[in-house]
Amino acid sequence: MASDKVFAAIMGYGIVGSGVAEVLNMNRDKIASSAGRELKLKYILDIRDFSSSPMAELFTKDFTVIENDPEVKVVVETIGGVGVAYDFTKRCLLSGKHVVTSNKELVAKHGHELLAIAAKNNVNYLFEASVGGGMPILRPMVTCLAANEIESVCGIVNGTTNFILTNMRECTMTFEDALKQAQQLGFAEADPSADVEGTDACRKISILADLAYGRLVRPELVQTEGIKNVSVRDVEILRNFGAKIKLIARFVYSGGKLMIWVAPHVLLPGHPLINVENADNGIMVKGNALGEAMFFGCGAGSLPTASAVIADMVDAVRHTDKRLDIGWTDCGSDWISGGEDFISRWYVRDESGEGHITSPTDASGVSMHMVKYRILE
């Protein structure tokens, strides 16, 4: 085991933060050998009382203890949201500490600014866990596919809605029960409407597009529809011909323009993403040299997400002197639109009618239908 130590802190001891502490302890030697130094947890920041925890002596309610301790080099932000998480992240970066996070809301909304602050202070702001949970996607897309122009990305990026739709289709649970269980299993957001309404998927696809093009894609520009209106009737009709409804986040880049949206889509038998079930995530990336690659793995939950957070901690420790150069610039919104003009087949159903699949058309070709979901080709 490496003898040298690097001190770390966790801000927010919720599902992901507690998972980070657990995995740091469980895999201490392996992590030390990957990082080249022991990653030693010095503080855990949380406003709640953890005096009966076996790690009680690490807890503090005072952020300035972490901020002012020069020994702490890596800080994990798992508070979530854009309130104190934003303030504390900024202050950690300004005081020369690397920050690692799973907070997609913060990265999607303020990543642009936080990455600029990190660059100025020669530290890293890393967020692999913000998309795909434990499934590697951001680093492979940026590094392994660096030779490619990214032509499109589409995928299942929200574990909670995938879990709900899987269980509705298999008739094992109602929407409400499946959501309750996703909350109990630690997949859902603190406010699960972010999952159900597609906001979480919207933040994740924005981050993927930010990184793919090095240009800011504000989440509020992403046309977003969640799964609230997906009815048992459509799930059943589609099940009869082996098809499934899944919440898909996607973008397509062509001629300098980006079409980006989140919506329930129909996947026909044989589609590579059709068997991505429960809380798993699956993302297909198309590059102009590689063609298509697919990433698959556990998209939510305590230890899987901690796995990605700690990989970033290791990366930060291995790059203490040389910053990883990632970021994106604000080029306005003229190059961004929703998916209205994108041509595909659709599943449609009128109030009285049976469901059927149309010929390829843009959104205007199906505007008269009560129920319409794109086929994911």
Residues labelled catalytic: 204
- The residue sitting closest to ligand HSE, measured at its beta carbon, is 160
- Answer yes or no whether residue 159 interacts with ligand HSE by CB under 6 A: yes
Rounded CA-CA distance 138/26 in Å is 25
Tokens 């590059």 correspond to what residue? Answer: 287
- Answer yes or no whether residue 12 interacts with ligand HSE by CB under 6 A: no
- Answer yes or no whether residue 75 interacts with ligand HSE by CB under 6 A: no
Which region among 18-26, 134-142, 158-166, 342-350 touches ligand HSE (by CB under 6 A)? 158-166
- At closest approach, how far in Å is the CB of 162 from ligand HSE? 8
Q: Which residues, 304 to 323, sit near ligand HSE by CB under 6 A?
A: none
Among 7, 13, 187, 347, binds ligand HSE (CB under 6 A): 187
- At closest approach, how far in Å is the CB of 73 from ligand HSE? 26
8 Å CB contact between 138 and 127:
yes
- Answer yes or no whether residue 200 interacts with ligand HSE by CB under 6 A: yes
Which region among 55-63, 87-95, 156-164, 353-361 touches ligand HSE (by CB under 6 A)? 156-164
The residue (of 124 and 130) whose beta carbon lies closer to ligand HSE is 130
Among 12, 17, 133, 219, binds ligand HSE (CB under 6 A): 133
Written in H, E and C, the secondary structure of 187-251 is CCCCCCHHHHCCHHHHHHHHHHHHHHHCECCCHHHCEECCCCCCCHHHHHHHHHCCCEEEEEEEE
- Answer yes or no whether residue 158 interacts with ligand HSE by CB under 6 A: yes
Burial grade of 54 (CB within 10 A; 0-12, 13-18, 19 or more): exposed
- Answer yes or no whether residue 160 interacts with ligand HSE by CB under 6 A: yes
- At closest approach, how far in Å is the CB of 92 from ligand HSE? 22
109 token code pair: 């909304």
- Answer yes or no whether residue 156 interacts with ligand HSE by CB under 6 A: no
Among 189, 197, 210, 234, binds ligand HSE (CB under 6 A): 189
Residue count (the chain):
377
Tokens 């503080």 correspond to what residue? Answer: 43
Q: Which residues, 264 to 303, sit near ligand HSE by CB under 6 A?
A: 299-300
Return the closest-CA partner of residue 373 out of 257, 262, 253, 221.
Answer: 262
330 token code pair: 């604000």
User: Cβ contacts of residue 129 below 8 Å, gap of 6+?
Assistant: 16, 100, 101, 102, 305, 306, 308, 309, 312
Rounded CA-CA distance 74/168 in Å is 42
Cα 180 to its chain centre, rounded Å, is 21
- At closest approach, how far in Å is the CB of 300 from ligand HSE? 4
The contact set with ligand HSE (CB under 6 A) reads: 133, 158-160, 187-189, 195, 200, 299-300
